[in-house]
């Protein structure tokens, strides 16, 4: 018998810690997608020969509690687990794989800043949670830093494309005549479809003056074009200096009207309902960074619109939301980055100028929403970001032919920013960056094409 843990046991170290999972189960022919929220805690049992995995989860309306032991069986040369919980026992054999930021423990598919992967080899029984394939966001709460793992491994992570899929083009911000836009919802959908988009979120204003109504676009969906049901919500009276606006996508069509005088309630509700909540045009309304800590429901914000195309065409210097993106990131907020049109169909130039490319397996609203919420997308005015591969502290970027591929952070990290361009004025389409200067902080990639159009990656936290 071994008297000390061997390398196989020590490799489990990379799982140790407390993990938060948010996401959706995959829709199957038998079951609709359900929202998942879970805390998973992995800790060593005495002696360091096996891990104890405690599950504290909610799947849809169901609460799931359980515990699992994960160990290595040297005779069979594989990892074995046994789970008992409110959703029944599960046992499976697994391999621990070095992989990108996706990790699979049992059937739970996770995104994580790690590089180990327990792959199920066989299974004797599994319960409801085990059967649910998870996708979504996983944030590490504590535990060891992955670089302290006992057994160094290659850490290639595909930051943009976790798993099977393709990019789908979508505009997350536009209006119809159900609020202050000029065209019917059907005409707006047709215009975007004809322009080569795969989906839109029609974000009509959800306001008293428009009858507190969510525009129901579900009957405008087709095989090759879909919609996310959403709305633009405001935190207060439009004339107030610190009112802010969000687009929330993934809302129920019977979304509640807020209490009188407290519209910000709807922003928190949207987040609680599982919507993807995007702070819109902070530059247009000149939302000061200094007030964000005291804005009502502001913690609900998942992403910031870094570029608003309608504003660019009407008040050009106010179209840029980068100050808010970097300001929130510097404050430690884990926000993503979007671009949107804010099209009202008031003039020809107010559309088709800022969008997102979402990586997802299918053009299902739930899959697109999961891609948005997990950050598997980029924002753009035209340039493509084709790959973002992270290997340890190296980042490899592949783009459409561009003038510039830049990596930068904010604040005192500006000296560490790096840019790849051709000094002779030619084009570049790939770049390799060293992320080590951004440790304990964040960085992000911006691509500029020869017409000056930009694309923005989501933030990377080295």
- Phi first, then psi: give them for residue 23, nearest 5 degrees: 170, -155
Q: For residue 141, give both structure tokens.
A: 């709460």
Residue 342 binding Zn ion, by CB under 5 A: yes
Tell me if residue 292 falls in helix, strand or coil: helix
Report yes or no: 335 and 460 within 8 Å, Cβ to Cβ: no
Residue 341 binding Zn ion, by CB under 5 A: no
| First-to-final CA distance of the chain | 40
Determine the Cα–Cα distance for residues 102 and 157; give it in Å rounded to an integer: 8
Site for Zn ion in 226-285 (CB under 5 A): 232
User: Which C-beta is closer to Zn ion: that of 171 or that of 374?
Assistant: 171
Least distance to Zn ion from the beta carbon of 230, Å? 11
Least distance to Zn ion from the beta carbon of 205, Å? 7
User: Which C-beta is closer to Zn ion: that of 330 or that of 346?
Assistant: 346
Q: Which stretch binds Zn ion (CB under 5 A): 30-38, 101-109, 253-261, 336-344?
A: 336-344
Q: By rule CB under 5 A, what string of x and - marks binding of each residue 284-303 to Zn ion?
A: --------------------
Least distance to Zn ion from the beta carbon of 151, Å? 50
Q: Which stretch binds Zn ion (CB under 5 A): 63-71, 223-231, 337-345, 396-404?
A: 337-345
Least distance to Zn ion from the beta carbon of 260, Å? 23
Least distance to Zn ion from the beta carbon of 344, Å? 8
Instruction: Tell me the CA distances in angstroms from 101 to 97, 151, 192, 236, one per residue in order.
Output: 11, 17, 33, 39
Count of residues interacting with Zn ion (CB under 5 A): 2
Q: Which stretch binds Zn ion (CB under 5 A): 82-90, 221-229, 335-343, 378-386?
A: 335-343
Using left for φ > 0, alpha for ψ between -120 and 50, and beta otherwise, residue 102 falls in beta
Least distance to Zn ion from the beta carbon of 312, Å? 14
User: Which C-beta is closer to Zn ion: that of 200 or that of 397?
Assistant: 200
Report yes or no: 442 and 329 within 8 Å, Cβ to Cβ: yes
What is the full DSSP assignment across 1-23? --SS--HHHHHGGGG-EEEEEEE
Instruction: Tell me the CA distances in angstroms from 428 to 57, 402, 449, one per residue in order.
Output: 46, 5, 9
Residue 350 binding Zn ion, by CB under 5 A: no
Instruction: Tell me the CA distances in angstroms from 199 to 130, 136, 225, 363, one per residue in order.
Output: 32, 20, 5, 8
Least distance to Zn ion from the beta carbon of 326, Å? 23
Nearest residue to the partner Zn ion, using Cβ = 342
Determine the Cα–Cα distance for residues 372 and 357; give it in Å rounded to an integer: 9
Report yes or no: 344 and 310 within 8 Å, Cβ to Cβ: yes
Residue 357 binding Zn ion, by CB under 5 A: no
User: Which C-beta is closer to Zn ion: that of 242 or that of 362?
Assistant: 242
User: Which C-beta is closer to Zn ion: that of 264 or that of 367?
Assistant: 264
> Footprint of Zn ion on this chain (CB under 5 A)?
232, 342
């Amino acid at each position: 018998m071994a008297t000390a843990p061997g390398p196989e046991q020590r490799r489990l170290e990379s799982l140790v810690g407390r993990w938060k999972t948010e996401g959706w189960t995959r829709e199957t022919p038998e079951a609709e997608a359900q929202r998942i929220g879970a805390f998973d805690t992995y800790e060593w049992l005495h002696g360091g020969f096996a891990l104890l995995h405690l599950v504290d989860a909610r799947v849809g309306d169901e609460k799931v509690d359980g515990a699992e032991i994960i160990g290595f069986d040297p005779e069979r040369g594989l990892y074995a687990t046994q789970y008992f919980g409110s959703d029944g026992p599960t046992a499976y054999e697994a391999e621990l794989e070095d992989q990108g930021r996706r990790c699979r423990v049992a059937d739970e598919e996770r995104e994580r800043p790690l590089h180990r992967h327990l792959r199920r080899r066989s299974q004797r029984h599994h319960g409801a949670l085990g059967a649910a394939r998870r996708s979504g966001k996983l944030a590490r709460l504590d535990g060891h830093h992955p670089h302290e793992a006992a057994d160094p491994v290659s850490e290639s992570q595909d930051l943009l494309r976790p798993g099977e899929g393709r990019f789908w083009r979508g505009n997350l911000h536009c209006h119809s005549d159900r609020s202050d836009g000029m065209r019917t919802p059907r005409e707006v959908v047709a215009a975007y479809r004809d322009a080569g988009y795969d989906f839109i979120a029609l974000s009509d204003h959800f306001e008293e003056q428009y009858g507190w109504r969510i525009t129901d676009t579900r009957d405008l969906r087709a095989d090759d074009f879909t919609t996310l049901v959403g709305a633009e919500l405001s935190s207060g009276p439009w004339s107030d200096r610190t009112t802010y606006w969000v687009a929330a996508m993934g809302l129920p069509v019977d979304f509640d009207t807020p209490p009188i005088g407290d519209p910000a309630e709807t922003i928190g509700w949207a987040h609680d309902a599982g919507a993807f909540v995007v702070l819109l045009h902070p530059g247009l309304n000149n939302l000061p960074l200094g007030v964000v800590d005291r804005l009502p429901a502001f913690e609900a914000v998942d992403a910031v619109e870094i570029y608003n195309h309608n504003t660019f065409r009407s008040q050009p210097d106010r179209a840029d939301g980068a100050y808010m993106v970097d300001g929130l990131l510097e404050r430690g907020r884990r926000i993503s980055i979007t671009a949107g049109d804010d099209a009202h169909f008031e003039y020809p130039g107010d559309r088709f100028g800022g969008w997102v490319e979402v990586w997802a397996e299918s053009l299902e609203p739930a899959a697109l929403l999961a891609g948005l919420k997990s950050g598997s997308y980029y924002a753009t005015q035209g340039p493509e970001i084709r790959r973002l591969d992270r290997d340890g502290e190296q980042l490899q970027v592949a783009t459409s032919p561009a003038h510039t591929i830049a990596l930068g952070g904010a604040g005192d990290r500006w000296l560490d920013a790096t840019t790849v361009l051709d000094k002779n004025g030619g084009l570049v389409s790939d770049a390799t960056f060293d992320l080590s200067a951004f440790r304990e902080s964040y960085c992000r990639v911006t691509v500029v094409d020869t017409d000056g159009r930009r694309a923005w990656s989501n933030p990377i936290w080295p």
